């Protein structure tokens, strides 16, 4: 039950992750063999539901990589289901204020510290009752990461970072760039300046700072500046780019054909 990812963030050890968007346990398990520190199971922009998230949690379980689940929305009922199927770490999107962050903390905690419904005895989270002290220990092992991805969130960032129970704050470059008037251009100098300033404020607050970038030089820069959880790619994009690059190698040449089989090989 010990949350090794939360412990690593607390210790200051950078955690390198990969985004999972294909909503498929088979590809999720393939990615788990790569030994990333964490894998983000995306329920916001991917066709995931509770059952597909469960299947991916089960696929990752035998491996070292720690699964972090992003729900479609920071809703108490949705969070309850995701925690009961065994997720310990959440990345909750679109948190704009400290008040919202406090409500999300309450959704992840059992009473009297929160409002999470108590049904773990019949849930995977407690191994269906095998872990008899689950409800006593669960609150301390939840790792809650929240996303600041609007101008409003950046304006309220210092207050969000002060919320007890929030372990880290993730800057969402795509939505933030749109909110700042630069839709589709997260690399705009004005956006980059806001991102760097926000990450610095998170780090100085003592919370773990996180971000996603496919630019490996940028990823290393973020780690060097003190970010503790950095995702360096999205598996769907890795697959798309790889198969397109493979096909491009044969643009000028026909595939060899085995005449005895009458097909390319």
- Residue 70 has a pLDDT of 98
Q: What is the pLDDT of residues 178-214, one digit of tens each?
A: 999 999 999 999 999 999 999 999 999 999 999 999 9
Residue 108: pLDDT over 80: yes
**250 falls in which pLDDT band (50, 70, 90)?**
confident
**84 falls in which pLDDT band (50, 70, 90)?**
very high
Q: Answer for the pair 164, 146: CB distance below 8 angstroms, yes or no.
A: no
Query: What is the domain count for the chain?
Result: 1
Active-site residue, selected from the candidate residues 2, 45, 182, 188: 45
Residue 256: pLDDT over 70: no
Q: Whole-angstrom Cα distance, residue 102 to residue 211?
A: 21
- Name the H helices within the chain: 4-11, 25-32, 50-60, 76-84, 98-108, 134-141, 151-155, 157-161, 173-179, 189-205, 216-225, 235-248
State the CATH number of the domain containing residue 175: 3.20.20.60
Per-residue tokens: 40: 């983000």
Catalytic annotation on 188? Answer: no
Q: Which domain holds residue 164?
A: 4-264
- Residue 254 has a pLDDT of 54
What does pLDDT average to over the chain? 95
Q: H or E segment at 130? A: none
């Amino acid at each position: 039950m010990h949350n090794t990812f939360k412990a690593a963030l607390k210790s200051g050890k950078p955690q390198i992750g990969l985004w999972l968007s294909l909503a498929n346990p088979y590809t999720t398990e393939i990615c788990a063999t790569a030994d990333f520190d964490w894998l983000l199971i995306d329920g916001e922009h991917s066709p995931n539901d509770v059952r597909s998230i469960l299947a991916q949690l089960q696929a990752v379980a035998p491996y070292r990589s720690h699964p972090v689940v992003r729900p479609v929305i920071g809703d108490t009922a949705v969070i309850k289901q995701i925690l009961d199927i065994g997720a310990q770490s959440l990345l909750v999107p679109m948190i704009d204020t400290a008040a919202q962050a406090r409500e999300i903390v309450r959704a992840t905690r059992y009473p009297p510290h929160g409002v999470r419904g108590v049904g773990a005895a019949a849930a995977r989270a407690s191994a269906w009752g095998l872990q008899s002290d689950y409800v006593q220990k669960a609150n301390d092992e939840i790792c809650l990461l929240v996303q600041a991805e609007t101008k409003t969130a950046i304006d309220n960032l210092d207050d969000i970072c002060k919320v007890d129970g929030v372990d880290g704050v993730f800057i969402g470059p795509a939505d933030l760039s749109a909110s700042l008037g630069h839709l589709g251009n997260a690399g705009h100098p004005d956006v980059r300046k806001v991102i760097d300033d926000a990450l610095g404020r998170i780090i100085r607050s003592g919370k773990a700072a996180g971000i996603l970038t496919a630019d490996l030089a940028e990823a290393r820069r973020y780690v060097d500046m003190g970010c503790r959880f950095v995702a360096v790619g999205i598996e769907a994009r890795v697959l798309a780019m790889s198969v397109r690059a493979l096909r491009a190698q044969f643009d000028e040449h026909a595939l060899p054909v085995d005449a005895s089989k009458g097909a390319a090989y």
